[in-house]
Amino acid sequence: MSRIYLDNAATTPLDPAVLEAMMPYFTTHFGNPSSIYSYGRETRMAIENARKTVAKILNAHPAEIFFTSGGTESSNTAITASVRNLGCKHIISSPIEHHATLHTVQHLHKTGEAQLSYVQLLPNGQVDIAHLEQLLAGSTEKCLVTLMHANNEIGNMIDIKAVGELCKKYNAIFHSDTVQTVGHFPFDLRNTHVHFITGAGHKFHGPKGVGILYVNENIKIEPFVHGGSQERNMRAGTENLYGIVGFAKALELATANYEQDSTYIKGLKKYMMEQLLQQIPGVAFNGDQLGNCLYAVLSVNFPKTEKSEMLLFNLDINNICASGGSACTSGADIGSYVIRAINPNSDQVTIRFSFSKHNTTAEIDQVIAKLKEII
Active-site amino acid positions: 328
CA-based nearest residue to 54, from 181, 182, 231? 182
Quote the DSSP letter at residue 68. Answer: E
Query: Are 185 and 296 spatial neighbours (Cβ–Cβ below 8 Å)?
Result: no
Quote the DSSP letter at residue 284. Answer: E
Reading phi first (left if > 0) and then psi (alpha if -120 to 50, else beta), residue 90 is in beta
CA angle 243, 246, 247 (to 5 degrees): 85
CA angle 191, 193, 198 (to 5 degrees): 100
- Beta-carbon neighbour count of residue 87 at 10 Å? 11
Torsion of CA 302, 303, 304, 305, to 10 degrees: -110
**What amino acid occupies position 332?**
A
Measured between alpha carbons, how far is 156 from 291 in angstroms, rounded to an integer? 8
